[in-house]
Each structure stands twice: as structure tokens, then as C-alpha cells.
Structure 1
């Protein structure tokens, strides 16, 4: 009998011990520690709320935050109990429930930051900082609730806490956030750039505007495209491209890939027409936070100036934390744009339709932001992706004349990239773009070509202090959703109104040139300085080329020859030169090569292009011709230790020589000062730059080309004996401290600025 009772007795002892550990879990959690629990609870709840705002369900902010507070509170209580029980098993003399709440809070905060791409180490650091902050707040609450501490002491503690919080809030964490682009001083003898004699293109025109929407009529989430839609459009079947459409996406939208809606916001000028058509499409924001309303400022402006503007809804192709993103979304974004063009072509033939006989389908412009910018370029080059698509059978009567990419992506799709031939192209990019952090619009610029003699052109504008999201009025001010956006700085950033002003000036001006034939605005794209007071004060870098450009040296010859460029012999003296790939801030090629010139001494060196006699005659150079080249700075010297960087700028002189030996030399800064690109600071503290987003922000600058245009008439005015038609030699003299630049697209042009 004794042998049979022992196991039962041992089990009873174990159960009794276990119950004792459970009953004693909260032995050390006194009233003070119970009040202090408010600290970790607030830290955990605040972090969960930030995460909820960054991963919306689509049921509204109130629902999302309420749900996360409830679930977080329940999770915190359960997690703290489990950890307290483990601590009790270990006989640790701690306020165990409080300690459990702290550990659980730290783990939650770490997980949230980790999945926000903060990285392992940085997530640990942020988790520690925020958990300690919560701890401090909780301890303060415990002190204030204590009956043993006098009111005077409580007030002193409260004041100390307030001072510490204010100090942390206003501490200058980022020591170089407002660093501007450094430029050479404009010399007294600089050539005057006259302001453009034209109306401000950002100023509303004289047309009254009729605004309306078209859509499926059955949209569950967007009433303006559902029951309140003014026009009903056809849905389109994208199942030939999309094979991954999660059920949660169908649950949210009420449709799947077989019935994608064609939804658009329309701003139409009142009048007989026909008017040019401009489609505007957003990029990959969160699916649940709609993006198409954010370009109303462009739509209304364009309509007032005689364009039919349509903001295209492609929110159903955007990313969702809960429903992922459809596969081949880039291809489908372009495909949807083409389907909209076809739908509008159908509307244009329907009597009684607001579009009826109002649309000039031979004059179409496409504008895209972010992924939408790439989609617009792809839609203008559809044969690469949609040559066999029988659903696109109405495109033959539609002509895309212009494409604008606002901070566009440039990803390979089906091993193909868009190439634009004889289509106006413009790309805008902010130097502080924390989303599309490299100027990939330059790649599309490089792939855009023109028939010799064409008046069409391509242009780029790089804007200091501008970011990604502020080009869309609904995307907020930061380039990352919460909680990651909390780490991005706002200091020194250009105001959203200023960014949108720049977009209005350039978008309107390009459409005026391309679709209205108003060439008065063409000089704006060659030199931003002619804009006068139209543009906000900022550092700009621009690039331009049109069909009048005749190349002297492009450096893309596959043979690798350095000293011969098709009728041009090149020579370098007292400097090192090589032909290399042009690269972005991440070391990725831009799709072109350039001449890299590097010098070590103060005196520098020279780089000379000598023209063959036959080439000189072929180019037909005259007094209206300009020497044109693009230059990018590749290196900077940093001095002063912890002080703000002081960068060395190269001094560039250009010497032209005619066949009779007459030489004339002018400093480049008389035409346009040489600048370094601005230092973009992305995060709230310098030590974060290398850590988050896999080091995405570690490089503060990126090499961007600036086009310089030097009218030969200016050289002739300096020395009347110089004859431009007899140009035989071009020499770049480079000096200053050691430096490194890249030259590309050296040639001549004679643009029709009339």
C-alpha cells in the first residue's frame, strides 16, 4: 500500500507548490507598483496605436485605434501574468507583474520596429529607449499617487519631468539638417538671365471648370465611384496578368482581378472643345488610404487652362498590410491607364455624355507619381508589354504626346524598360525623397530620344529640400507610414505648398508646350532661372536636351575607346580620366557612361576635344549655336572635424579655339555657377541614418547631372576675332583643390526658344 500512495503524495506536493507560486505572483506588486503600471501600458498602447495607423483596416481610425487599445491591453495583461508566473517560479523578489508588463512592452515595441525595417540592433535600441521612457512615466505616476510623499515634493518631481521632456523634444538631435547646396558665388560679370516673358503657368486660366466622376457604379468603398458616380464605366478583366489576388482584397473592395473598375475624377473646361486630355495617376500608397484626391491642385489648374484632366483611381492595386499586393502590379498600373484612355474614347462618341466630342485624343499627356510615373512611361510605350492584348484595340486613334514622371520608379518589368521616342518627357525629384531615394527618373530621361531636328525635348529637375509625399496633398508630410515615419525628420523640409507650386509651374508649362503648342515656356526647361518669381527659393539642378542637339561626345561607345568619339579626338593633360558608368547614390548604373575627370593638385588640368574639319562643316555651327554639356560632381572634401562639411567646388573655365588659332576663355560660373548637390538629411538623429531601411539613407548626396548651355555668341562678344563657324577645339580647364567630376552629353544645339 505504501508504494502505491507515494506518487499521489508527490503529485500533491508539486501541485501545492505550484499553487503557492501562483498565489505569490503578486506579492511584491504593492500599491506604488500598481500605479506605476500606467507607464508601460501607455508606452505599449502608444506604439501599438502608431502601428495601427500605419496598417489601417479600412474601417476608420477610431475603429483601428480602439481595437488596438483593447487587444493591446488584454495582451499586456496576459503577457505580464505569464512572465510574473515565470518570475515567481524562479523566486525572484521583484514586483513580478510590473516586471512582466515591462518585458512584454519591450518585446512588443521591438517587434513593431523590426517589422518597420528598423533592423535588429536599432529595434533593440528603440525598444529600450521607449520602454525606459514608459518606465520613467510610470514611476512618476506612482510617486504622484503615493500618500507618503508631500505635495511639495510631488510638484518638484513633476516640474523636473516636464523640463526633461521639453529638453528631449527640443534637443538638436540632427546637427546638419538644414545644410543647403553649396554654390560658387555669382561673379559680377555673369551673363544676365532674363525672366521669361509669359504668364505664370501656375496661375489659373480663364476657363470655368466642370468637375465630375466616372466609375463602376458599384464601388463599396468609394461612393463617388459607386452610387454617386456621374458616369458609369465598364469594368475590365486583368486576370491575364494578375494571378495573386488575396481574398481579403476581394472582401475589402467587393471585386477581384476579373472586374477591376475604371474610376476617375474629372476636371473639364467648359466650352465647345475639343480639349487635350491629361491623365494623372498616383503611386503605391497604402490601399486603405486613398490617393487619387491628392492631385486636385493639378487637375483644377490644368482644366482652367484648357485641358481635360483626370485623376485615375488605382488604389485597388496598392499595397495592404492585410491583403499584400497583386502580382505584376506595375504592368497592370500601365494597363489600367490604357483602359482609361479607351473608355474616354468611347465616352467621346456617346451623345449626351459630358465627354461627347470634347476630347482631342491626338493630344494626350500622362502624368504619374512614384510607381505611377513608371506606369505613365510604360503606357506611352505599350508594345513592349501589351502587343498581343486584344482588349486594347482602340489605341490606334490615341496619341500620347507627353509624359511627366514625378519621383518615378524605374523597375524592370518582364526584362523590359520603357523607351520614349519623340515624346516630351519631364521628371521631377526631391533631394530629400525618403521613398524613391534615388533619382531614377534620370534613367528614363536617358532612354528618351528624338528625331534629329525635332523641337521636342526631355528635361529633369532635382529640387533641394523636397520630399516624395508632399507632391500629393493627401499623402501627408512624411515619406514612410507609421511608425517608421516617426523617425523621419521634418526639419529644413520644403513646405508642401511650395512643392506643389513647383509641380504646378512645370506640369502646366510642359502641357502648354506639348499639347497647346505654346513654345513660350520652352526656355523654362532649359534654365529654371528664367522662371523669375514663379518658383520658391531653393537649390535646383536641371537637365535638358531637344532634337536640335548634335553630339560631340556621349561616351557610350561599346568599343571602350577613350581618345576617339566619332570625329572628335579627346586629350587630357595633368589629370586622370576614364570612361565609367554614371551611378546613383546606391552604386547602381543609370544606363549611361561619362568621362570621369580627376585631379589632385590646386592647379588642376585640362580636357580637350578637337573637332575634325569634316565634322565642323557637318555641324553647321554659327553664332546662334550653343555649346552644351552635362556635368556631375562626384567627390567632396570634408574639413573641420565635427563642424558642418566644407566642400571644395571645382573651378571650370571653357576655352574655344577657331581654326585660325584665335582663342577665347570664359569662366563657367559666368553662365551658371557650379554647385554641389544638397545634403539630404532624412532622420531625426544622425545615428539613425545608417541603421534603418537597410542603410537606405546612409548617403546624404547623390550625383545628379546639370546641363550647361554656353551660347557661342557670348564667346564672340568677348573676342570679336573668334569665328564660331570655325570652331576647332574645346578645352575644359579644371582647377581648385582636388576634385572629381563626370562629363556627358557634350555637343551643340540650336533650340527654338521662340
Structure 2
């Protein structure tokens, strides 16, 4: 009995305690909104707008495939539900600790700031930038809300209301006009250095970017079952056969199958075609996109190239590989790089079938021995892999019918260069061109230079390779559907656009170079080769920008490449090297991340002056086959920005020393000639790029991806030997025995590569 009574005594205090806690919680619930006045309640609208705005922007970077409008409405719905649920919960928690705040409003501020922080943090902005952006945008939401409250008040004058509107609009105007401000700068453009030297004559040919004389038709081939675009579905002009990629792809999600309506067993062969009218056959050019968001189709973005090429007598096909692209909801299939290249081969097989079928637009109209591949981003790597397909697909029995096909030329636009199955493509006797922008915020290393180094020629192949580095170009604007941002939203909002080329200007560069390259390599218009030797030959066709070009043709005879051995005092076939007044060493060329570009060069560093000399023995001199129509050629990059105590100025270049270099040639009879390098082409410093809106962000976002503002990019210098003979008639250009680089200036550092003779 005593035990029962004792238990009752214990239970009663517990019940009383729980009742008191419940009453206290109820009282705190009633007091939750006690400090929130009508002004602040109305101001919550600004916070709601801020949360919905950032969620709508984020939805553009993570599309569901239902369309931008639907994604935006879903984002607004989520933002609205969040504002209904979470601020009251946070307000109640604040009331429990008796904080004398307008608790619901404070809950709204906390909720919105956490939403914005999470959005930018998971967009790889880094935690500190995410905090800064979150504070800034939340503050904007606070101010906007208060301005809305002022506007709705009947007791406030119109002047104050207009001031409130201005306070809300000015930050938006500041952001949208950011490219015109000096907070984020890109590079110092040295257009005056593009004046034509005496040795460089403007090309006397029609602008390759202009439309040609051919009328053309546009049509599409596809599976006939595409559920997203009718041109590959019920409206397809030709029905292609699906292909089975299951031997390469294992990780194909159910969501991906649900979205596309097929899996890796039945990948569609879809392409949109621009074909010249009239009797062929015509060269075939395939164009393939890179890894944009899967739900935002990429193949339509190269119509500007397809239309131009068709008008100039090429069959252009933009290949659909969107089903291999990344999705926020479904990631990316495994082995996607390999399958991208494999799909290009499947398109060539399918077009070969169409070419043999009477009644198709392709019938006997395709010259399968004159094929070129153009790729952008991951597509830029895929086209090189396809051109070297036996390296990966030699055992694939489904790759048939390609023995009569010849890929003559490859163009890579801002390509990736990933190792696939421990291998990289190596092109032999294939023309190669790569374009890259210094403001590329996606592929911010010039990987096209690696493939350039892995491209080689037989001496009599009559081929060439070239690169073009464009100081003011970015990644996305080469595709008309990718916009101007090189990162998906919301991360793209933090990227700098100051100094960036207009989209049409950037695509004009692509049109000039793509067309001229294909005219030279597939149509035999060799006069256009001069553009690739020296970009200044085509300045009348190009928009104003900063250009660097590298070039080598099959007639090049090397004197020193710096890859032949590890001995820095020897060159090729008995050439010896000596230097004085400087520090010098052969080193690997590195990109922004410190990774090798696949080549070595000789780095020369001096104070005041120094010389670097190549001594050429008689037998090697004879084998160079030099004469009045021969030129000395070499690649050079200025590394003045790497010198200690040298800092780039506000515009990127002002404090970096420009070296003064003279080239001295000596012939077997002892006659010597020394000419300034600037008489042929001035040396330009490398572009200094601020990728983000403020330099503080460079090392913070994307795991420090943008921490390096500059990477070594080579410019090819071509010095005609007849210019030396004009300065000294005793000089014999057919027998060169010595080449000396005279380097002067207070301080300097350069790197040389690929020194030799070319015709």
C-alpha cells in the first residue's frame, strides 16, 4: 500500500510538470508574433521574393525537362511553401529563448539566408563566398521588403515611394551593367601590336565566313520515335537505325530511360543536315556538341556553322548526343567520352548507307574520302578520338564499313583532354585546328595544345596543324543555345563578363577559322593557309580582339624541339646549343593547374642581356634545304609574369616587362645578319584573366579552379630568310650555320619550342 501511494506521489509531480511545460509552450506560442508589427509582416514579401528568385534561377541550372516555365512555377511553389512553414517554426524556437526580436520576421531572414547559402554552396561556390552572397542577397530581400511596406503605406509621400523603388532597382542595374565597371577586369588588349609587318600581306581571297554560291536544303534523320523533338521523331525525313552501346555503358539510370524513352541498347542516330543542292559528291563535315545540361538540347546551336558550310559546298551535319550529357537528376552515363566518339563513327556508317540508297537526299552525294569532324568541349576530344578510333575500337566488330572513309581534318573548339582507358588520341597525317578562349570559365586550360603536340605528319603529306587562342572569348558563346555563362546557374552569376567579346563577334571568329580551315584542307584552297601561319593575314575578317596562333606544316624541318632527349646542349642531328649571360634549362610546359601540356621547351631568363645560340653542322645544314623561300620558324611564349616581384597591374599587363629580342643568322661564308624580332611580329604578354566578379573570389570558388590568371600559350614566329638576305646580300640563305637569340631588357623570361625551317 505504501508502494502504491509512493508511486502516486511520483506520478502527480510528473503530470504537473508536463502540464506546466505544456502551458509554457502554449504561452510561448502565443508570444511568438508579439514583436512583429504590420510593417514587418508586409516586409516579409521581400524575403519571399528573394527566396523565390534564387530558387527560380537555380531551377534554370537544374531543369527537369518539363520546360522553363514549369520549372519556374515549381520553384516558386517550393519557395512559397518554405516561407509558410519554416519562418513560424524558427520564430517559435526563438521565443523559447526569450529573444526580444520580431521573431517571425527574424525566422524569415534566417530561412532565406540558409536557402541562398545552400544554393550557392552546392553550386561549388565554396562556403565563404556562399556566406557572402547569402548575406548580400538576404539584405537585398530585407531592403526590398521594407521598400514594399513603405510603398503600400498611405501616409508616405510619393517622393519617398519613388526613392524606395530606386533603392530596389539600383542594385539590379549595378549587377546587369557589371561588365562596364572596373571591379572585374579581363585582359589588356594590345591591338596596336596587330599592325601588319612588312612580311605579312593581307590575304587576297574572299571572306571565308561569308555565304558561298551554293543553294542548300535542310533536313533531319532520326529514330522516328523522339519524344522531345519532332524533327527526329514523327517529322524525321530519314529513319536511321538505333545502335547498341551496352558493351560500353553500364550505368544508365531508370530516370534517364524514362526521360528519353530508350536505354543504352537503342541509342538513336539523330542528325540535322545542311546539304548543298546540285550534283556532288561533297565533302562531309560532322559537328558535335559537348556536355551541356541534358535537358537543354545543344545540337541546334551550330546552325550558324552548318548553314555557312553548306553554302560553300560542304555537307554539314550537327550530331545529337544530348542523351549522353549530364543531368542534375541523373548524373552522366559511364564511359561517356568513349561513347561520344563511337557515336560519331555510327553516324558515318549510317550516312554511308544513306549514300548508297537511291531516293535519299544523300544518294551519291557524299565524298566519304573527304570527311572532317568538328567538336566543342567534350565533343572536341571526341572528334580526335574518332579520328584515331582504332586505338579504342579495333576489337569492335560493329565498326564496319569505315575502310573507304577518310577523316582528313579535325577541329576542336575549347576541347577537353581526358585520358580514356589510359590512352589519348594521337593523330597522324590529319589536319588539326583548335580554338580556345582565355576567358573560358568551363574548360579554362588550353587542352587543344596537348592534342596539337600529339599530331604529327609525314614530310610529304602536305598537312598542317594550328591553334588560335582568343583573349576575349569564353566557352559557351561558340554555341548559340548555351548563352554567355560558362557555368550553370546560379554559379554562373559569379563569373566575370568584363571585356568579353559579344557573342556574334566570337562566332565570327569561329566562322572565319572553321571555313578557312576546311576550304584549305578539303577544297584545296591553299591560299587560306596563310591565315593559320599568321592571324594578321586575316585581320580584315576578324573582330578586334587579342589573338595568339601556333602553326606547323608537314614541310617543317626541326633544328631543336627539346623533346628528342634530356640533354639541353644538343638539338636534332648534331645541332649543339650554347648560352651566355642567362639562366637556361629545358622544362616541361605546364598549364594553369601545373600539369604537363605534353611538350618541353627551353626556358631562358636574363637580366640586362644574354644570348642563346644553335650551332648547325654542315650535314644538318644541307638537310634543312633552305633557300630564299624558306623561313625560320619557332614558337615563343613570354613568361615575364612569373618573375619574382613582378605583379600584374589593374589591367593585367602594365608592370610585366616585354623582352627585346634580336635574331642573328650566320651562313657558311661567315656573313651574319641581326634583325629585331618586332620587325616580324611583336611579342605580346599573355592574357591575364579575372574569371569571377571580384579577384577575391578567384581562389575561393570551384575548389580554386580559377586561382591562376595566366597559362603559357605559344605564338609561332615566322621569319623569311630573304628578309635577312635583303639586309646583307653576302648572307647565303641556303647554308645556315648559326642561329642566335639576343635577349635584352632589364629583366626577362621566355620559353622557346619547335625551332626549325619551313617553306
Tell me whether the two structures share a fold, i.e. TM-score over 0.5. yes
Contact 1:577 1:595 in 2 (8 A): yes
d(CA) in 1 for partners of 2:467, 2:648: 34
Give the corresponding residue for 1:32. 39
d(CA) in 2 for partners of 1:199, 1:167: 43
d(CA) in 2 for partners of 1:396, 1:640: 53
Q: 1:395 aligns with which of 392, 402, 420?
A: 402
Give the corresponding residue for 2:517. 510
Contact 1:563 1:571 in 2 (8 A): no
Instruction: Using the TM superposition, give the Cα deviation of residue 201 of structure 1 relative to its aligned residue in structure 2, in angstroms.
Output: 1.2
Q: 1:136 to 1:524 in 2, by over 3 A?
A: same
Q: Please give the per-residue CA displacement for 1:390-437, whole angstroms capped at 9, x wherever unaligned.
A: 110111111100000011111101110000000000001111111110
Give the corresponding residue for 1:195. 202
1:134 is the counterpart of 2:121 = no
Cα RMSD for the two superposed structures: 1.9
Matches within 5 A, 1:386-425: 386-425=393-432
Q: 1:176 to 1:478 in 2, by over 3 A?
A: closer
Contact 2:186 2:691 in 1 (8 A): no
Q: 2:360 aligns with which of 353, 358, 380?
A: 353
What TM-score do the two structures reach when normalised by structure 2?
A: 0.95
Matched residue of 2:200: which SS? coil
Give the corresponding residue for 1:674. 683
Instruction: Using the TM superposition, give the Cα deviation of residue 150 of structure 1 relative to its aligned residue in structure 2, in angstroms.
Output: 5.5
Matched residue of 1:533: which SS? helix
Q: 1:633 aligns with which of 623, 638, 643?
A: 638
Q: 2:67 aligns with which of 60, 64, 72?
A: 60
Matched residue of 2:465: which SS? strand
Matched residue of 2:125: which SS? coil
Matches within 5 A, 1:661-700: 661-700=670-709
Matches within 5 A, 1:44-193: 44-146=51-153, 153-158=160-165, 174-175=182-183, 177=185, 179-182=187-190, 190-193=197-200
d(CA) in 2 for partners of 1:86, 1:333: 53
Structure 2, unpaired ranges of 5+ = none
d(CA) in 2 for partners of 1:482, 1:284: 15
Give the corresponding residue for 2:337. 330
Contact 1:183 1:675 in 2 (8 A): no
Give the corresponding residue for 1:426. 433
Matched residue of 2:411: which SS? strand
Q: 2:471 aligns with which of 446, 450, 464?
A: 464
Q: Please give the per-residue CA displacement for 1:502-552, whole angstroms capped at 9, x wherever unaligned.
A: 111111111112212221211111111111411112221101111101100
Give the corresponding residue for 2:289. 282
d(CA) in 2 for partners of 1:205, 1:517: 16
Give the corresponding residue for 1:738. 747
Structure 1, unpaired ranges of 5+ = none
Q: 1:115 to 1:609 in 2, by over 3 A?
A: same
Contact 2:185 2:651 in 1 (8 A): no
Matched residue of 1:277: which SS? strand
Matched residue of 2:640: which SS? coil
Q: 1:442 aligns with which of 439, 443, 449?
A: 449
d(CA) in 1 for partners of 2:648, 2:239: 65
Give the corresponding residue for 2:243. 236
Matched residue of 1:130: which SS? helix
Q: Please give the per-residue CA displacement for 1:197-218, whole angstroms capped at 9, x wherever unaligned.
A: 2221111111110110000000
Q: Please give the per-residue CA displacement for 1:446-480, whole angstroms capped at 9, x wherever unaligned.
A: 10000013210001111120111111111111111
Q: 2:738 aligns with which of 719, 724, 729?
A: 729
Give the corresponding residue for 1:343. 350
Give the corresponding residue for 1:649. 658
Instruction: Using the TM superposition, give the Cα deviation of residue 721 of structure 1 relative to its aligned residue in structure 2, in angstroms.
Output: 0.4
d(CA) in 2 for partners of 1:305, 1:534: 17
Q: 2:720 aligns with which of 690, 711, 732?
A: 711
Instruction: Using the TM superposition, give the Cα deviation of residue 127 of structure 1 relative to its aligned residue in structure 2, in angstroms.
Output: 0.8
d(CA) in 1 for partners of 2:652, 2:429: 45
Matched residue of 1:396: which SS? coil
Instruction: Using the TM superposition, give the Cα deviation of residue 155 of structure 1 relative to its aligned residue in structure 2, in angstroms.
Output: 4.9
Between stretches 514-523 and 251-260, larger displacement belongs to 514-523
d(CA) in 2 for partners of 1:456, 1:60: 46
d(CA) in 2 for partners of 1:683, 1:150: 41
1:248 is the counterpart of 2:255 = yes
Matched residue of 1:574: which SS? strand
Instruction: Using the TM superposition, give the Cα deviation of residue 492 of structure 1 relative to its aligned residue in structure 2, in angstroms.
Output: 1.4
d(CA) in 1 for partners of 2:497, 2:430: 36
Q: 1:478 to 1:159 in 2, by over 3 A?
A: closer
Instruction: Using the TM superposition, give the Cα deviation of residue 644 of structure 1 relative to its aligned residue in structure 2, in angstroms.
Output: 5.9
d(CA) in 1 for partners of 2:235, 2:192: 57
Instruction: Using the TM superposition, give the Cα deviation of residue 175 of structure 1 relative to its aligned residue in structure 2, in angstroms.
Output: 3.9
Give the corresponding residue for 1:384. 391
d(CA) in 2 for partners of 1:568, 1:640: 38
Matched residue of 2:133: which SS? helix
1:618 is the counterpart of 2:626 = no
d(CA) in 2 for partners of 1:433, 1:219: 33
Give the corresponding residue for 1:220. 227
What TM-score do the two structures reach when normalised by structure 1?
A: 0.96
Instruction: Using the TM superposition, give the Cα deviation of residue 152 of structure 1 relative to its aligned residue in structure 2, in angstroms.
Output: 5.4
Matched residue of 1:127: which SS? helix
Contact 1:181 1:679 in 2 (8 A): no
Instruction: Using the TM superposition, give the Cα deviation of residue 169 of structure 1 relative to its aligned residue in structure 2, in angstroms.
Output: 6.2
Matched residue of 2:341: which SS? helix
Contact 2:431 2:463 in 1 (8 A): yes
Q: 2:507 aligns with which of 500, 504, 508?
A: 500
Instruction: Using the TM superposition, give the Cα deviation of residue 659 of structure 1 relative to its aligned residue in structure 2, in angstroms.
Output: 1.9
Instruction: Using the TM superposition, give the Cα deviation of residue 157 of structure 1 relative to its aligned residue in structure 2, in angstroms.
Output: 4.9
d(CA) in 2 for partners of 1:240, 1:149: 71
Contact 1:43 1:130 in 2 (8 A): yes
Contact 1:77 1:101 in 2 (8 A): no
Contact 2:61 2:490 in 1 (8 A): yes
d(CA) in 2 for partners of 1:90, 1:17: 12
d(CA) in 2 for partners of 1:186, 1:512: 25
Q: 1:205 to 1:699 in 2, by over 3 A?
A: same
Q: Please give the per-residue CA displacement for 1:693-715, whole angstroms capped at 9, x wherever unaligned.
A: 12222222221011111111110
d(CA) in 1 for partners of 2:166, 2:429: 68
Between stretches 654-663 and 254-263, larger displacement belongs to 654-663
Q: 1:658 aligns with which of 644, 667, 677?
A: 667
Matches within 5 A, 1:549-560: 549-560=556-567
Instruction: Using the TM superposition, give the Cα deviation of residue 296 of structure 1 relative to its aligned residue in structure 2, in angstroms.
Output: 0.6
Contact 1:181 1:676 in 2 (8 A): no
Contact 1:275 1:306 in 2 (8 A): yes
